[in-house]
């Protein structure tokens, strides 16, 4: 009998250990493979006249860089759904990890849930787009490759065709371009379009410095939609000397940025690399005061308030607890918007770039659009008063 009890006890312990291993295995599989984002509510409203609806905006004719805009961080990840591979910016020894832990990679890479067209319809006017070249195709990317660039440019052109008086600013961040050239990239981007029109058709100006470019320059006094392209390079592409053949491009007068035309001071954006909301608020406070103290240094470029979060070891608990960048933005965006100092930050950084730009959680999309509308109306009213 004692021997039987020992056997039963041993089997029980073995079963407990096996169950624990199975639970752990399923937990790991869920954490690494699940694509559940926890997005909550997506806005169903529309802010398609975010700029054209500002009273007397053409009469005031503000500089484009002074306009407040809602910005979409990594706007192209809206199309990220299946594993298409990693961008060339990712070290080869890490590529297999991205593929194995596909769900985890997806949740911490995807920043937008609505198409670029829907983002524009819901007020986004500044699109941050990372661009990577792979296998003869230019993709949108955020470490992982999402859709071809034509998909997103087509959405921009489609929107501008139907919305005179609106502006779409494209921050084209070049991440990887081995095997091609800057001229080919620009030809590809400006040649893409929708309904018989290309992006180049909405960028008719060539020689106006960004700091002097006005609303009427881009929209012909509010009678057409217009685009402003800013091309910037990431460190990953900086060493590729063969890529920079810009002087041979037919589109060098169509875009701004230090890569595009050797100009500097056309975009100011600080990445805080934090997941903690309070830390980001502290960083925004510090950055706004720095820019306010030397405003002339920044006044002729796009001044960006980056409120998006980033997974990191410093904020390990917040990173794990966030589950996904989308779920983090669900609560983080309204919290930053409600900060008592937000309006003061906005005075020097009027372009607000965030993840989950169409989020209705905490009424974020409506509240940020209304705040931007008020800011721009005050800007216009101030310019008109100064003219009297």
Q: With respect to residue 282, please indicate whether it lies within any of the assigned structural domains.
A: yes
Buried b (16+ CB within 10 A) or exposed e, 183-209: bbbbebbbebbbeeebbbbbbeeeeee
What pLDDT is recorded for position 24?
62
What pLDDT is recorded for position 157?
98
Q: What average pLDDT does the segment 86-95 reach?
A: 83
Instruction: Count other Cβ atoms within 10 Å, centred on residue 115.
Output: 18
- Chain segment 279-303, per-residue pLDDT in tens: 999 999 999 999 999 999 999 999 9
What pLDDT is recorded for position 331?
97
Q: With respect to residue 31, please indicate whether it lies within any of the assigned structural domains.
A: no
Query: Which of 195-199, 201-205, 314-318 is predicted least confidently?
Result: 201-205
Q: With respect to residue 6, please indicate whether it lies within any of the assigned structural domains.
A: no
Average pLDDT, the chain: 91
Q: What average pLDDT does the segment 19-39 reach?
A: 73
Using 50, 70 and 90 to split pLDDT, how confident is the model at 40?
very high
Instruction: Count other Cβ atoms within 10 Å, centred on residue 39.
Output: 18
Using 50, 70 and 90 to split pLDDT, how confident is the model at 195?
very high
SS3 of the chain: the string is CHHHHHHHHHHHHHHHHHHHHHHHHHHHHHHHHCCCCCCCCECCCCCCCCCCCCCCHHHHCCEHHHCCEEEECCHHHHHCCCCCCECCCCCHHHHHHHHHCHHHHHHCCCCCCCCHHHHHHCCEEEEEEEEEEECCEEEEEECEEEEEHHHHHHHHHHHHHHCCCCEEEEEEEEEECCCCCHHHHHHHHHHCEECCEEHHHHCCCCCCCHHHCEHHHHHCCCCCCEEEEEEEECHHHHCCHHHCCHHHCCCCCCEECHHHHCCCCCEEECCCCCCCHHHHHHHHHHHHHHHHHCHHHCCCCEEEEECCCCCCCCCHHHHHHHCCHHHHHHHHHHHHHCCCCHHHHHHHCCEEEECCCCECHHHHHHHHHHHHHHHHHHHHHHHHHHHC
Let me know how long the chain is: 388
Distance separating the N- and C-terminal Cα atoms of the chain:
104
Q: With respect to residue 24, please indicate whether it lies within any of the assigned structural domains.
A: no
Q: With respect to residue 296, please indicate whether it lies within any of the assigned structural domains.
A: yes
Structural domain boundaries enclosing 261: 44-387
What pLDDT is recorded for position 83?
87
Query: Which of 21-35, 74-88, 323-337, 342-356 is predicted least confidently?
Result: 21-35
Q: With respect to residue 188, please indicate whether it lies within any of the assigned structural domains.
A: yes
What pLDDT is recorded for position 237?
80
For residue 101, give every residue at least 6 positions away whose Cβ sits within 8 Å of its Cβ, in sequence order, or none. 32, 33
Alpha-carbon distance 371 to 367, whole Å? 6
Contact 224, 164 (CB under 8 A): yes
State pTM to two decimals: 0.93
For residue 22, give every residue at least 6 positions away whose Cβ sits within 8 Å of its Cβ, in sequence order, or none. none
- Chain segment 198-256, per-residue pLDDT in tens: 999 999 776 799 999 999 999 999 999 999 999 988 877 877 778 888 667 777 778 88
More confident residue, 231 or 382: 382
Number of domains in the chain: 1
The CATH number assigned to the domain holding 88 equals 3.20.20.190
Q: What average pLDDT does the segment 271-281 reach?
A: 97
What pLDDT is recorded for position 33?
86
Alpha-carbon distance 367 to 358, whole Å? 11
Using 50, 70 and 90 to split pLDDT, how confident is the model at 30?
low
Q: What average pLDDT does the segment 178-203 reach?
A: 93
Closest by alpha carbon to 302, among 246, 263, 341? 263
Q: Which of 176-180, 318-322, 371-375 has the highest mean pLDDT?
A: 371-375
Q: With respect to residue 187, please indicate whether it lies within any of the assigned structural domains.
A: yes
- Chain segment 96-155, per-residue pLDDT in tens: 888 889 999 999 999 999 999 999 999 999 999 999 999 999 999 999 999 999 999 999
Query: Which of 76-85, 163-172, 232-241 is predicted least confidently?
Result: 232-241
What pLDDT is recorded for position 31?
73
Contact 133, 173 (CB under 8 A): no
Residue 21 has pLDDT above 70, yes or no: no
């Amino acid at each position: 009998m004692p021997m039987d009890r020992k056997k039963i006890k041993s089997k029980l312990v073995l079963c407990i250990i096996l169950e624990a291993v199975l639970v752990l295995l399923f937990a790991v599989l869920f954490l690494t493979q699940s694509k559940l984002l926890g997005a909550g509510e997506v806005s169903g409203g529309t802010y398609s006249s975010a700029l054209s609806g500002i009273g007397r905006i053409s009469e005031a004719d503000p500089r484009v860089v002074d306009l407040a805009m809602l910005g979409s961080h990594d706007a192209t990840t809206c199309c990220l759904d299946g594993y298409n591979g990693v961008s060339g910016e990712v070290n080869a020894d890490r590529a297999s990890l991205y593929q194995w832990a596909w769900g985890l990679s997806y949740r911490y890479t995807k920043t937008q849930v609505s198409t670029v067209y829907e983002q524009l319809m819901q007020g986004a006017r500044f699109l941050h787009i990372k661009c990577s070249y792979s296998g003869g195709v230019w993709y949108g990317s955020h470490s992982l490759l999402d859709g071809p660039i034509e998909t997103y440019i087509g959405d921009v052109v489609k929107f501008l065709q139907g919305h005179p008086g609106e502006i779409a600013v494209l921050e084209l961040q070049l991440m990887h371009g081995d095997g091609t050239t800057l001229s080919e990239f620009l030809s590809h981007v400006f040649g893409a379009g929708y309904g018989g029109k290309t992006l180049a058709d909405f960028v008719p100006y060539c020689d106006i410095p960004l700091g002097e470019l006005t609303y009427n320059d881009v929209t012909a006094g509010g009678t057409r939609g217009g685009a402003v392209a800013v091309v910037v390079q990431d460190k990953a592409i900086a060493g590729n000397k063969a890529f920079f053949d810009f002087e041979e491009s037919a589109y060098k007068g169509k875009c701004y940025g230090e890569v595009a035309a050797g100009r500097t001071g056309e975009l100011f954006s600080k990445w805080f690399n934090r997941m903690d909301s309070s830390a980001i608020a502290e960083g925004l406070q510090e950055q706004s005061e720095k820019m306010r103290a030397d405003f002339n240094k920044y006044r002729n470029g796009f001044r960006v308030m980056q409120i998006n979060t980033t997974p990191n070891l410093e904020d390990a608990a917040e990173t794990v607890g966030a589950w996904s960048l989308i779920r983090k933005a669900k609560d983080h965006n309204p919290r930053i918007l409600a900060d008592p100092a937000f309006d003061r930050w906005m005075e020097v950084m009027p372009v607000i770039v965030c993840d989950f730009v169409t989020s209705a959680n905490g009424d974020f999309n409506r509240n940020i659009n209304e705040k931007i509308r008020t800011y721009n109306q005050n800007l216009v009213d101030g310019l008109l008063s100064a003219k009297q």
